[in-house]
Amino acid sequence: MATINLENIDDKVVEGLEKRARMNNRTLEGEIEAILERASGADYERKRKRFLAISDELRKTTKGTYQEPSEIFISRDRELGHPREWEEWS
């Protein structure tokens, strides 16, 4: 594992990181590692594998169960007068 040393970091930045670390029940070093991991994309593959595992499990538990197409739900919403999502923001 590599070592990174940082110098001349603004006190406000360190205070913010310490606060964030406390909120996440981490040490300052642990918080900085988590931030760097996310920024580097290193956790992407782990999250992808977890998502695929959950998806596979859901697929197995719903196999053979009728799944109503989403178009039917959308059509029903429109019949009830619910606006399209993009219309809400325009």
Q: Which two tokens stand for residue 38?
A: 């996310």
Residue 20: closest CA among 36, 38, 3, 35? 35
Which residues neighbour 17 within 8 Å (Cβ) at sequence distance 6 or greater? 28, 31, 32, 35
**What value does the mean pLDDT take over residues 6-13?**
95
Q: Which two tokens stand for residue 59?
A: 């697929």
Q: Which two tokens stand for residue 83?
A: 């606006």
What would the pLDDT profile of 65-78 be if each residue is shown by its tens digit? 888 888 888 888 88
pLDDT tier, 17 (very low <50, low <70, confident <90, very high otherwise) = very high
The amino acid present at 62, given as its one-letter code, is: T
